[in-house]
Amino acid sequence: MFLSAASRESHWEQIYRQRAVDSVSWYQQSPTVSLELLDAVGARPDEPVLDVGSGASVLVDALLDRGFSDLSVLDVSASALDLSRSRLGVRAGTVHWHTADVLEWRPERHYSLWHDRAVFHFLTQASERERYVSTLKSALRPGARVVVGTFSVDGPEKCSGLPVQRYDADGLAGTFGDAFELLEQRREEHHTPRDAIQVFTWVAMRLR
């Protein structure tokens, strides 16, 4: 199923307007694997970080708690970012907010760390994945690291009612091409708020 940029925006806007943040299947109280992988690739608090498709995730809160000073978040849903801004209160002022579709977005600066949990797997068309990787490369500093989590090959076939592309670690890293070196991989069993298990594949890569 191919969604236009306008359909993607309205799909996600509707969800964040209608659902409680802690009721969506991807909700997690603590972004444990993301933080473990950022640690594993040696992320330093002075490095610029971008969380792509951040939704209302508390990763940004956790990174602020750890002293990260150059944080950017991007999501196609303005409502998702509003939820995060309200939660953060005055701390929101130190974060760079981008309401944008990553497939349409043109980065205006470079990042040392790019994080994506459960966004890349929605790109079921090769042309969408190529576009994402091209944007990613244009947004990275030399030696940057990329942390991506998707549904695993034994994970669900859909997320939020949309079909997903499922990956094992080699397949996921391979999709990003030779420009990236695979540093770390993880398999995660995510427990949804309804206590279902969703298996994720995670990779951490470095731009060669």
Ligand X SMILES: C[S@@+](CC[C@H](N)C(=O)[O-])C[C@H]1O[C@@H](n2cnc3c(N)ncnc32)[C@H](O)[C@@H]1O
- Residues lying near ligand X in the complex (CB under 6 A): 8, 12, 26, 53-55, 57, 75-77, 80, 101-103, 117-119, 122, 159-160
Q: Are 145 and 206 in contact (CB under 8 A)?
A: yes
According to DSSP, the residues that pair with 200 across neighbouring strands are 151, 188
Report in angstroms how near the CB of residue 160 gets to ligand X at its nearest: 6
Task: Choose between 119 and 140: whose C-beta lies nearer to ligand X.
Answer: 119
Task: Choose between 20 and 46: whose C-beta lies nearer to ligand X.
Answer: 20
Q: How far apart are CA 49 and CA 53, in angstroms?
A: 13
Report in angstroms how near the CB of residue 165 gets to ligand X at its nearest: 13
Report in angstroms how near the CB of residue 208 gets to ligand X at its nearest: 26
Q: How far is CA 165 from CA 38, 54, 172, 208, in A?
A: 24, 19, 10, 25
Q: How far apart are CA 75 and CA 116, in angstroms?
A: 11
Task: Choose between 17 and 181: whose C-beta lies nearer to ligand X.
Answer: 17
DSSP string, 60-99: HHHHHHTT---EEEEES-HHHHHHHHHHHGGGGGGSEEEE
Q: How far apart are CA 126 and CA 132, in angstroms?
A: 10
Report in angstroms how near the CB of residue 12 gets to ligand X at its nearest: 3
Task: Choose between 57 and 72: whose C-beta lies nearer to ligand X.
Answer: 57
Report in angstroms how near the CB of residue 74 gets to ligand X at its nearest: 6
Task: Choose between 106 and 208: whose C-beta lies nearer to ligand X.
Answer: 106
3-class secondary-structure state, position 183: strand
